[in-house]
Amino acid sequence: MSEASTPSATETSRLPLLIYVLAAGVFLMGTAEFIVAGILPEIATDLGVSVADAGLMITVFAVGMIVGTPLMAIATLKLQRRLALSLSLVVFAIGHLVVALASSFPLVLGMRFVTALATGAFWAVAAVVAAKAVGPRRSSRALGIVLGGGMLANVIGVPLGAFAGQSVGWRGPFWALAALALVAVVPILKQVPIESGNAPVPSVKAEIAGLRDLRIWLVLGGAAIVCGSSLAAYSFISPLLTENTGMAPSAVPLVLLAYGVGALIGSNLGGALGTHRPYGVLFTAAAATFLVLVGLALFSHSPTATVLLVFLLGLFGMSTNPILIGKAVGYADEAPTLASALSTSAFNVGTAVGSWIGGIALESALGATGPVVVGAAIAALYFLPLSALVVRDRRAARESVVDAPTGEPDTVEA
């Protein structure tokens, strides 16, 4: 069969292998981002710092993701996307090799920041590549699988890394991540297509101009709120479980596993359902997340109810992410890379702000319930950008009908 007669990705029901290759890359990135939390004591002891100082490895990574993702998206804008993804993996590997060999804590922090830059660049470009590979109608489904790689990291990668770090030393997981990143370069180069020389040359000016659509900023606001609400509660789930629910500390990882499983299912399910009914999924997930957090605040003294609600928090809280990124990329049209990068930054801003306010609430009279109350309050705000987004989409749809000269106009699904 000739290339011209081969069905395109948008004409077939099966997603291309490229989507799963990108998901594997995101799995590595997600594991690297959160693996430190499971081996902080080992790192602190070996490097001669306090556990609190070792925790800066997490903070520095988050800052790198917030600031570095859009900057790296611009820096790699004129590169072939397959090259940008490959270079991100190589820098990611080098950063982990240096950390695995380093004895200087400042050097370790510096390499964590560099690794975060590579992670942000990979996430931003991977989202654009995935969305373009399948077309707008199936972008949510494809992004659900790609982002599901990050959710799978919480279920498999982080626990395995923590176990390995405690068994063979904390440097072992960093060696493994570096090796796997270098291996991943090969399928990336094979699966990501070379962009046509006739395609428009990306420019910073075009990317910035693509952000003029107010809908992109509404999506970014929604993305920050989504992560802010869920992570305000999740960041302090351990004291909630031990103080309110009365669980033993050894049971906490199992509850976190329930959250990870819920998040993995939610990301994939949300992406699949969002292909046909994006706003139905977004509003349902928003309402469900709010109700789950309220329920968690009221029934956290019941172990059974708490475990179920934590699972549902992952399920509904993470189900909107692929839809939101898909919309941001779609609204940016021919200049989507910066919009995708800012989506990643927005998620991390929400995480940082939500966990910060949650920490303040933890020290209040509410105690361990405080972060959950904060999460519920943030979740209630989600309806504001969603409602405004529906209004703007409908207005854009009416304008496209008026402006269309002939034939069937493009419609905006709302």
Nearest CA among 244, 338, 383 for reference residue 252: 244
From 97, 74, 88, 136, select the one nearest 340 (Cα to Cα): 74
To which CATH superfamily is domain 203-399 assigned?
MFS general substrate transporter like domains (1.20.1250.20)
| Three-state secondary-structure class, residue 14 | coil
Q: Burial of 285 by CB count in 10 Å (0-12 exposed, 13-18 middle, 19+ buried)?
A: buried
Q: Which residues contact 9 (CB under 8 A, 6 or more apart)?
A: 15, 16, 133, 134, 135, 138
Tokens 């927005």 sit at which residue? 346
* Interatomic CA distance for residues 397 and 409, integer angstroms: 9
Phi first, then psi: give them for residue 48, nearest 5 degrees: 70, 35
Could you list the pLDDT tens digit for every one of the 414 residues in the chain? 343 333 444 444 678 889 999 999 999 988 887 787 667 778 888 999 887 688 778 778 888 888 888 888 787 777 888 899 999 999 999 999 999 999 999 999 999 999 998 998 898 788 888 888 887 777 777 887 887 788 788 778 877 887 788 788 899 999 999 999 999 999 999 988 887 666 555 667 777 777 888 899 999 999 999 988 988 888 778 788 888 999 887 777 788 788 888 988 988 888 888 878 889 999 999 999 999 999 999 999 999 999 999 999 999 988 888 888 888 878 877 667 788 788 888 888 888 788 888 888 888 899 889 989 999 999 999 999 999 999 998 888 887 666 655 544 444 444
Per DSSP, 404 falls in state -
Q: Which amino acid is at 173?
A: P
Tokens of 18: 């490229």
Residue type at 51?
V
Q: Domain residue spans in the chain?
A: 15-190, 203-399
* Greatest Cα pair distance in the chain: 71
pLDDT at residue 46 in the model:
92
- d(C-alpha 274, C-alpha 144), whole Å: 9
Q: Are the folds of 15-190 and 203-399 the same?
A: yes
Q: How many CB atoms lie within 10 A of CB 206?
A: 17
Say if residues 89 and 180 touch (Cβ distance below 8 Å): no
Of 214, 263, 225, whose CA–CA distance to 346 is shortest?
Answer: 225
> Does pTM surpass 0.75?
no
pLDDT of residue 412: 46
Class of 15-190 per CATH?
mainly alpha
